[in-house]
Amino acid sequence: MFFTIDILGTIAFAISGVLVAIDKKMDLFGILIIAFVTAVGGGTLRDLLIGDTPVSWMKNIAYTYVIIASAIFAIIFRSKINYLRTSLLLFDTIGIGLYTLIGIEKGISANLHPIICIALGTITASFGGVIRDILCNEIPVIFRRETIYATTCILGGVVYFTLGQLPINNNIVYIVSGIVIIVTRLLSVKFKIALPNIYKN
């Protein structure tokens, strides 16, 4: 289950990166780089923070193959993917939902406090997108007032540890926590829910 979630998150974020790179009219090399850093940037930072080196994608070549295959798929079928105006949001949202759980599990494996585990989940889910946006000359999504991004990861982490205290199958905990993150993120965008602005207009 852990590996499956990781691969699905990798696919979602790789496609998200490709869509952004295509929108910026990058060449093939640029598209592949953006897909790669979007997919593994957050996980790389997480692994470095907890001292798990070489980082995960270096230890398992399957991640590289998955990213390349996902990028090729997104490039070939970009017209069909872009037909859905919410495609980038959807893939990005699925990615943060899945990657938050991966980061939390990594923290648990390292015997870290639940708060730190949630922080690692948020880093795993968010910082690939941060690196992507910086390279694409955009303000990172998690720093924009109009969207709730990292907050949904934190909420999902709280739900994960809360459900973990109950006699529930781990797979159900994964699924429910992931759905909470994805649905909360989509609702925040649809209804323009944002954290309060401390600055006066």
Alpha-carbon distance of 107 to 123, in angstroms, equals 11
Check: CB of residue 103 under 8 Å from CB of residue 120. Answer: yes
pLDDT in tens, 35-65: 999 999 999 999 999 999 999 999 999 999 9
Angle between helices 170-190 and 87-109 (to 10 degrees): 140
Residue written as tokens 């968010």?
Answer: 126
Using DSSP's 3-state secondary structure scheme, residue 84 falls into coil
Report residue 156 CA to chain centroid gap. 13
Can you read off the two tokens belonging to residue 65?
């193959």
pLDDT in tens, 152-198: 999 999 999 999 999 999 989 999 999 999 999 999 888 878 777 66
Is residue 109 over pLDDT 90? Answer: yes
71 CB neighbour count, 10 Å cutoff: 24
Q: Which amino acid is at 122?
A: T
